[in-house]
Amino acid sequence: MPRKRQTANPTALGDRADIDARMAFLIEAGKLAGVDRATRIVDGSRVENSAEHSWHLALFALTLGPHAPDGVSIDRVIRMLLLHDLVEIDAGDTPFFAPGSEDTAAQDAAECRAADRLFGLLPVEQARAFRALWDEFEAAETPDARFAKSLDRFQPPNLNLANGGGSWAEFGVDEDRLRERLGPRISRGAPTLWDWLSPKIADFFAKRRAD
């Protein structure tokens, strides 16, 4: 008696292709751990990588959510922060106080190309959802995105305060330059956090001047 020919299960094939796409994205996302930043970790022993930074920011959002402005959805902020630096896999990280860091046109273009490639690995619906969150974060026009952006600027100075100056010393950053560039970016989306951080920055630089 001839054996029956097995036919492929369309549902199983569809599931397999869907998981393949999502896993391709997740494996690629793992490369973020290989992107070094300028900011040192709390004990100052090494620089943090961008994957650690993204995790730490998500924890900042979860923990400091009660101090977000009214109307902010912390769940959406966490999703943004987990995605926001994935583009650095292709585009790299530009230290905030590095020479030329204020001219962002080339970096912005590189990050948009990276977003097209990375999120394009996903199934269409999820690709659109992730890209929309990334675009919203970059535009920083909604309360959620403004708070997420502010946390992105709030975390590094707290690491520098903990490790004795870190990247501030490396880039020759004084208090005036720090306040000029950092203050508006934090206070715009998280004024309560800037009010808390500002006197700590003043104390740090006062002690350094006294030494």
Per-residue pLDDT tens digits for 115-171: 999 999 999 999 999 999 999 999 999 999 999 999 999 999 999 999 999 999 889
Residue 100 has pLDDT above 80, yes or no: no
Residue 36 tokens, joined: 């070094």
pTM of the predicted protein model = 0.90
Residues 74-91: tens digit of each pLDDT: 999 999 999 999 999 999
**CA–CA dist 65, 72 (Å, integer):** 8
Q: Which domains does the chain have, with CATH numbers?
A: 16-38+45-210 (1.10.3210.10)
d(CA 199, CA 144): 26
Q: What is the mean pLDDT of the chain?
A: 93
Instruction: Quickly list H helices, the chain.
Output: 10-29, 50-64, 74-83, 88-91, 105-119, 124-139, 143-163, 166-170, 175-187, 191-210
Distance between CA atoms of residues 178 and 205, nearest Å: 10
pLDDT(13) > 70: no
